Amino acid sequence: MVLKRLPRRRLLLLGVITAMLSVALVACGEDANGDDRDDGGANGATTATHTPAGGGTTAPTATSTGDEETLSGALTIEGSSTVAPYTRLAIEAFEGLHSGVTVTTGELGSGGGITAFINGEAPIAASSRAIRDNEVEQAAANGYEVFETVIAYDALAIVVHPSNEIPQLTFEEVARIFAGEITNWSEVGGADLRITVYTRNEESGTFAFVEEDVIQAALGSDAEYAATVNKQANAPAGLTAVSGDVSGIFYAGLGNLADIPAGAVREVPIAADAASDAVEASSETVTSGAYPVARGLFYYTDGDPAAHDDPLVRAYLAFVVSAEGQAIAEELNLVPAR
Amino acid sequence: MPRHDGRTAQIGDTLSAAQPRPQPAARSLAAAIRQPRRGGALERAVEMVIYGTGVLTLVLLIGILVLLAQQGLRLFLEFDYSFWRFLTYPNAITDNTSHPEDFRFGIIAPLIATLWVTLVTLVLAVPLGLATAVYISEIAPPGVRLYIKSAAELLAGVPTILFGFVGLFLLVPFVRDQFGWGAGGMSGMTAGIVVAFIAVPLIISIADDALQAVPVDFRENAYALGCNKLQAIWFVIMPAAISGLAAAAMLGMARAVGETMAVLILAGGNSSITDSPFDSMRTMTATIASGFGNASAYSLLRPALFMTGLVLFAITFFTTVIADAVLEKQRKRFSR
Amino acid sequence: MSAAPRTVMVASGRERRNALLQSAVFALTFLATVVVIAPIVVVSAYVLREGVSAITLEFLLEGPRRDGREGGIFPVIVLTGYTLVLVVLMAVPVGVASAVFLSEYARPGRLLRLINLTIINLAGVPSIVYGLFGAALFLDILGASKALWVVAATLALQALAIIITSARESLLSVPQGIREGSLALGVSKLRTTAFVTLPQALPGIVTGVLLAISRAAGETAPVLVVGAIIAKNVDLAPSAVVNERAQSLSFELYGRIVQGIGYPEERKWGIALVLLAFVLVFNLSALFLRGRIASIGSVRRN
C-alpha cells in the first residue's frame, strides 16, 4: 500500500463535521417532535404548517369551521382488537357519509392503543378496559387530558373447540380455569383432557379485564392468571388456536366472533353462580345482567371530542354516539351505550 | 482529468484510463511530480470521508451497545426496579406500568425459553449442517457441490416469516395431532425445528470453508497411510478443521438466539419458566416483539425490553467473538 | 481433493466392512444434504400452489378494501419498493466507502483486525436488536416520528455489514497488478481506486447489494418494532417516505398470519408468494452474477 500521511487531523475534522451534522439532525428532529406534540395527536387541521414528519397521518383540510363542514383527510384509531370489528363497520359507514375521509384502525390491543395515544401517535385510542390511573398520569405528563366515551357494552364469550360439549361453566369456574386452579376438563364436566388455556397478550384490554374483573372478582385481589397461560397476539389469533385445539379455551368479544367463520369455535353458556341458569352471551343477556362477563368498550381522546381541535375526531365520535353509530353496535350484538 | 467515458475499466484500459493530461514538454519530470494535483483538495476531502466510514462500523457497534445500555439501565437507575427481581421473577409480563411494584418482569423465563429453542436448533442443525458440509466438501462431484452451495445460499435468503408461515401450516397441525406438544402444537420444539433450517445454511457455509481450508497434504498423507476416504475424513480432515467446525456451530447458535418471527408464531405464548422444550414458551426475542407496542415512554416496560435486548446482544456478541477467535486459530494454523 | 485409493482386488473382510461403512456414512451425508435443501423446495412449492390463485391483477395493482379482505396490496408493494430504494441509497455509499477503506487504505494491524471483528459482530446482531437500536436512535434521540424513512434507515444499518463484507471481498480480489499499473502511471490513489479498482470489483459489489436488498425485504422484526402498519391506502407519492408509516410485504404477511381464521387463507399465501418472488429475484440474480464472476476467471475462490 502507498504510504499515507497520519490521518489523525483528518479524523478530527471529520468528527467535527459529523458532530455538526448530528446537531443539525437533532434540531430538525426536535422540530418534528415538537410539531407532533403541538398537534396533540390531532392532525394539525387548523394550523397551516405542513410538517414533514407527521404522526403517520396527512394533515386533513377543513374548508370551513362551521357545523356543515366538507371533511377530508385521514384519521387514525389505534387499540383494542375487541373494539376493532365495531370500529371497522363504523368506519365503513362514516366514510360512506364523508367521501374524502379515510379512517384506519390498528389492532395493537388496548394497551398498545393507549400507549400510542400517550405517545401522540394516534388521536383516538380504542380500549376494551377502563384506562388506568397510571396511564392517565402518563398522558397528562405529555399534555393530554383523557376523556372517555363509552361506545357500547360487550359480552365476553368464553369459547372452546366445537367438539367440546361441556354444557356450561359458572363464573367462578371460568375464573379458576384461567387462574390455573382447575386444570382438567373432567373437573367441570368434560372429557379427561388437560385444559390448554389461551389468553390475549399483555397489550390487550380484555387480558386486563379478565384478570381484574373475572379472576380477581371471583378469587380475591391477590389472584392472577396462571403462570402457564399461552398468550396470543390478538383475538383472531386466539380464536384460530382454539379452533384447532380440542383442549383449548379462550375468551373474545362478540364482535370478534362475528369476524370468523361460523362454527369455528363454540361458545359456552355461563352461569353467574351455581344457582343461576347458564345463558349464552348476547345483548339481551348483558342488558338483563344474566350474563356475568360483560364490560364497556371505550374510545379515549384528548379532551371532550365535541370540542376537539380536529374536525375528523369531532365528527367521528359524534357519529359513534348517534343513533346510526349505536345501531352498528346492535348489529354486532353489543349493547348500545344509550 | 483521466478520460472516463463510462465503460467499466478492463485490464487493457489501464493505460488510457489513467493517462494524465499531457504536460507541456518543457517541464521536467521532477517539476511535474511536485506540481499539486488538480482537484487535490477534493481528493483529500473524499479520502477523509473514506477514513471516517472506516471506523463507522466500530461506532455503530459501540453505539448499539451504548444505546441499549443507556435505555435498559434506566430500569434500575431511574425506576428503582430491583435487579434481583429482574433476574429471578419467574414470569415476564409485559404490562405497561410506571410503578415498579406492579411490574412483574423477570428475564429468567424468556432466557430459558431462548435456550430451549436454541438447544433444539443446535441438536438438529449442527449434525445436519456438518454432514452436508462434509458431503459437499469431500464427497460430492464439483458440479453438484456448486448447485448445493447455491441452494443453501438461497435457503439463507428466504425470509424467516415464510418459514414460520409454512411451519404453522404444515408442522403445527402435525405435531398437535400426533404428539400434542405445547399449546395446540406450538412449542419450543416446533419452533426449534423450523429455526434449525434457518440456521443451517450459515453452519454449512462456515463448516465448508473450514474443511476446504485443510491443506491437501493432510488428505494425501492419510491416503498414503492406507485410509479410505471415510477414515481420512473422520480421523484426519475433520479433526484438523475442528476449530472452524466449532465456529460454525457457534455462529449457528448466535443465529438461532436472534431469531424472532419464527418463534413468535410457532413457540406458543407462555411467558413463565418452562422446564421442557415441548412446552409452549416465549423467548427473549418474542417478548420484545410482542411487548414493544405496549411500551409507552413512561413505563418500566420500555427499559425492561431494552435490557432484554442487551442480554441478547451480549449473548450473540460473546458467541461471535469466541467463534472468530477460534476461526483465527485455524487460519493461523494453516497459513503458509 | 485427491482421488480416494482404489480398493485392492483381493478385499479382506476388514476392508469390505470398511467399504460398507463408508458407503453407509456417505449415504447418510447425502441424506442430510437432501433434508437440508428440501425446505426450499417445500416452501416454494406450497407457496406457489396455495398462493397462485390469489394473484390477480387486482391483488397486485389495487389498494386494500374492507380491511384488506378485498382489493389488493398495491400500497404495500410500492412502499416496500421505496423502503428498499432508500436502504440502497443509505447503505451502499457508506458501505462501499467503508469497504474501500478496509481494502485500500487501512494498514494491517490491530485496528484492522478490530474492524473486521466488528463487522462479523454486526452481521450477527439479532435483527430485533437493530429494531430496538433504530427505535432508540431515531425515535427517542432524534425525535423523529414513525415514518417510512426511519424503518428504511434501521434496515440500512443492518444491511451495512452485508454490503461491507461483500464489497471488501470483491475489492480484495482485484489483482494488485491492476492498481500498481495505474499508480505507476502517476494516477493518484483515490482516482485509481475510483476509476480502476472499483469498476473491476463492481460485479461483486452488486452481488452484495442484491443480497442485502433481499435480506431487507424479508426482515420483519425490526420493522415491527420501529412501527410499520398493515396495508392501508395512503398517498403513494415519493413524499410518503417522510409522511407515511412504513408498509412492508413481510410485515403484511405477519399481520395477516396473526389474524388467523379471520383472514382469507389464500390471500395470505398470495402475499407470501409475492414476497417469495421478490426475494428469489434478488437472490437468484446475485447467484447468477456470482457465477458469472467466477467463470470470467476471477482469482477469488468461490
Distance CA B57, CA B336 (A): 30
C199/B9 touch (CB, cutoff 8 Å), yes or no: yes
- The CA distances from residue A78 to A203, B130, C222, in Å, are 12, 48, 20
Q: CB-CB: which of B96, B173, B176 is closest to A111?
A: B96
Q: Is B170 on the interface with A (CB under 8 A)?
A: no
The mean pLDDT of chain B is 88
Residue of A163, A228, A300 to mutate when probing chain B, most B C-beta within 10 A: A228
Whether the per-residue pLDDT at A18 is higher than 80: the answer is: no
B264 neighbors C257 (Cβ within 8 angstroms):
no
Residue contacts between B and C (CB atoms, under 8 Å): 300
Whether the per-residue pLDDT at B28 is higher than 70: the answer is: no
Looking at residue B283, its pLDDT comes to 97
Residue B274, helix vs strand vs coil: coil
Looking at residue A3, its pLDDT comes to 42
Map grid coordinates 367441570 to a residue.
A188
And the C-alpha cell for B209? 470453508
Among A181-185, A303-307, B86-90, B109-113, name the one with the lowest average pLDDT.
A303-307
Whether the per-residue pLDDT at A69 is higher than 70: the answer is: no
Residue A248, helix vs strand vs coil: strand
Binning chain A into helix, strand and coil, the percentages to the nearest 5 are: 40, 20, 40
Residue contacts between A and C (CB atoms, under 8 Å): 85
List chain C residues with CB under 8 Å of A106. Answer: 229-230
Looking at residue A26, its pLDDT comes to 46
Supply angle C-alpha B295, B300, B306, rounded to 5. 70
Distance CA B65, CA B117 (A): 25
Looking at residue C189, its pLDDT comes to 87
Whether the per-residue pLDDT at B286 is higher than 50: the answer is: yes
Distance CA C20, CA C13 (A): 10
- The CA distances from residue B251 to B254, B324, C130, in Å, are 5, 9, 18
Domain residue extents for chain C:
3-52, 55-301
Residue of C48, C132, C145, C180 to mutate when probing chain B, most B C-beta within 10 A: C132
Nearest to residue A280, comparing CAs of A268, A265, A288, A292?
A: A268
Residue of B161, B236, B320, B331 to mutate when probing chain C, most C C-beta within 10 A: B161
pLDDT category of residue A30 using cuts at 50, 70 and 90? very low
B293 neighbors B280 (Cβ within 8 angstroms):
no
Nearest to residue C272, comparing CAs of C296, C254, C253, C287?
A: C253
In sequence order, what are the beta bridge partners of A320? none
Q: Is C145 on the interface with A (CB under 8 A)?
A: yes
Nearest to residue C126, comparing CAs of B68, A303, A155?
A: B68
In sequence order, what are the beta bridge partners of A75? A103
Whether the per-residue pLDDT at B170 is higher than 90: the answer is: yes
Q: Is C70 on the interface with A (CB under 8 A)?
A: no
Q: What does pTM read for this prediction?
A: 0.85
Nearest to residue B195, comparing CAs of B98, B290, B128, B102?
A: B128
- CATH label of the domain that carries residue B192: 1.10.3720.10
Map grid coordinates 482469482 to a residue.
C299
A278 neighbors A168 (Cβ within 8 angstroms):
yes
A293 neighbors A276 (Cβ within 8 angstroms):
no
Overall CATH class of domain C55-301: mainly alpha
Give the mean pLDDT of A262-274: 92
Looking at residue B171, its pLDDT comes to 95
Residue A50, helix vs strand vs coil: coil
Distance CA C266, CA C197 (A): 49
The alpha-carbon gap from A134 to the nearest alpha carbon of chain B, in Å, equals: 7
Looking at residue C14, its pLDDT comes to 83
CB-based contacts of C116, cutoff 8 Å, min separation 6: C102
Nearest to residue A164, comparing CAs of A182, A187, A183, A189?
A: A189
pLDDT category of residue A40 using cuts at 50, 70 and 90? very low
B210 neighbors B165 (Cβ within 8 angstroms):
no
C126 neighbors B313 (Cβ within 8 angstroms):
yes
Q: CB-CB: which of A15, A116, A231 is closest to B269?
A: A231
Is B295 part of any domain? no
Is B10 part of any domain? no
C260/A58 touch (CB, cutoff 8 Å), yes or no: no
Render each residue's pLDDT in chain C as its tens digit; 302 residues: 556 666 556 668 888 888 899 999 999 999 999 999 998 899 999 999 999 999 999 999 998 887 788 889 999 999 999 999 999 999 999 999 999 999 988 888 888 999 999 999 999 999 999 999 999 999 989 988 889 999 999 999 999 999 999 999 999 999 999 999 999 998 888 888 889 999 989 999 999 999 999 999 999 999 999 988 888 888 888 888 888 889 999 999 999 999 999 899 999 999 999 999 999 999 999 988 888 877 775 444 44
Q: Which residue has the higher pLDDT, C67 or B66?
A: B66
B198 neighbors B259 (Cβ within 8 angstroms):
yes
A30/C258 touch (CB, cutoff 8 Å), yes or no: no
Give the mean pLDDT of A210-235: 93
Q: Is C115 on the interface with A (CB under 8 A)?
A: no
Asked whether this chain's domains A2-154+295-336 and A156-293 adopt the same fold, the reply is yes
CATH of A2-154+295-336, one of 3.20.20.70, 3.40.190.10, 3.30.360.10, 3.30.410.10: 3.40.190.10
Beta strand pairing status for A335-336 and A248-253? Answer: unpaired
- Which amino acid does the sequence have at C195? F
C290 neighbors C225 (Cβ within 8 angstroms):
no
Around A306, how many Cα atoms within 13 Å sit in the side-chain half-sphere?
A: 4
Whether the per-residue pLDDT at A45 is higher than 50: the answer is: no
Q: CB-CB: which of A33, A104, A264 is closest to C143?
A: A33
Looking at residue B151, its pLDDT comes to 92
C80 neighbors C277 (Cβ within 8 angstroms):
no
Give the mean pLDDT of A46-56: 32
And the C-alpha cell for A159? 369459547
CA C145 to chain CA centroid, nearest Å: 27
Map grid coordinates 436512535 to a residue.
C137
Looking at residue B13, its pLDDT comes to 45
B2 neighbors B8 (Cβ within 8 angstroms):
no
Beta strand pairing status for A124-127 and A248-253? Answer: unpaired
Give this complex's ipTM.
0.89
C115/B54 touch (CB, cutoff 8 Å), yes or no: yes
HEC string of chain C equals CCCCCCCCCCCCHHHHHHHHHHHHHHHHHHHHHHHHHHHHHHHHHHHHHHHHHHCCHHHHHCCEECCCCEECCHHHHHHHHHHHHHHHHHHHHHHHHHHHHHHHHCCCCHHHHHHHHHHHHHHHCCHHHHHHHHHHHHHHHCCCCCCHHHHHHHHHHHHHHHHHHHHHHHHHCCCHHHHHHHHHCCCCHHHHHHHHHHHHHHHHHHHHHHHHHHHHHHCCHHHHHHCECCCCCCCCCCCHHHHCCECCHHHHHHHHHCCHHHCCHHHHHHHHHHHHHHHHHHHHHHHHHHHHHHHHCCCCCC
Beta strand pairing status for A146-160 and A335-336? Answer: antiparallel
CB-based contacts of C3, cutoff 8 Å, min separation 6: none
Is B130 part of any domain? yes
Nearest to residue B105, comparing CAs of B316, B322, B312, B308?
A: B308
And the C-alpha cell for C117? 471483528
Looking at residue B35, its pLDDT comes to 62
Looking at residue C290, its pLDDT comes to 84
Give the mean pLDDT of B40-53: 85
Q: How far apart are the first and last CA of chain A?
A: 82
C268 neighbors C256 (Cβ within 8 angstroms):
yes
Q: Is A238 left (phi over 0), alpha (psi -120 to 50) or beta?
A: alpha
B304 neighbors B106 (Cβ within 8 angstroms):
no
Looking at residue C8, its pLDDT comes to 56
CB-based contacts of A50, cutoff 8 Å, min separation 6: A59
Number of domains in chain B: 1
Nearest to residue A300, comparing CAs of A102, A141, A94, A77?
A: A77
- Which amino acid does the sequence have at B187? S
Beta strand pairing status for A169-170 and A266-267? Answer: unpaired
pLDDT category of residue A126 using cuts at 50, 70 and 90? very high
A118/B272 touch (CB, cutoff 8 Å), yes or no: no
Is B9 part of any domain? no
Give the mean pLDDT of B185-196: 96
The alpha-carbon gap from C32 to the nearest alpha carbon of chain A, in Å, equals: 32
B230/C21 touch (CB, cutoff 8 Å), yes or no: yes
A201/B298 touch (CB, cutoff 8 Å), yes or no: no
C220-249 burial code (b ≥16 CB/10 A, e <16): bbbbbbbbbbbbbebebeeebbbbbbbbbb
Residue of B169, B298, B302 to mutate when probing chain A, most A C-beta within 10 A: B298
A118/B296 touch (CB, cutoff 8 Å), yes or no: yes
Beta strand pairing status for A248-253 and A169-170? Answer: unpaired
Q: CB-CB: which of B99, B279, B296 is closest to A115?
A: B296
Looking at residue B46, its pLDDT comes to 87
- Using N-to-C axis directions, what is the helix angle for B108-134 and B301-334, rounded to 10°? 30
B161 neighbors C253 (Cβ within 8 angstroms):
yes
What's domain A156-293's architecture? 3-Layer(aba) Sandwich (3.40)
CA B198 to chain CA centroid, nearest Å: 11
pLDDT category of residue B177 using cuts at 50, 70 and 90? very high
Looking at residue A17, its pLDDT comes to 61
The secondary structure of residue B273, as a DSSP letter, is: -
A292 neighbors A275 (Cβ within 8 angstroms):
no
- Using N-to-C axis directions, what is the helix angle for C249-257 and C74-100, rounded to 10°? 130
Residue range(s) defining the domain that contains residue B168 = 111-282+307-334
Q: Is C66 on the interface with A (CB under 8 A)?
A: yes
Q: CB-CB: which of B48, B273, B294 is closest to A112?
A: B294
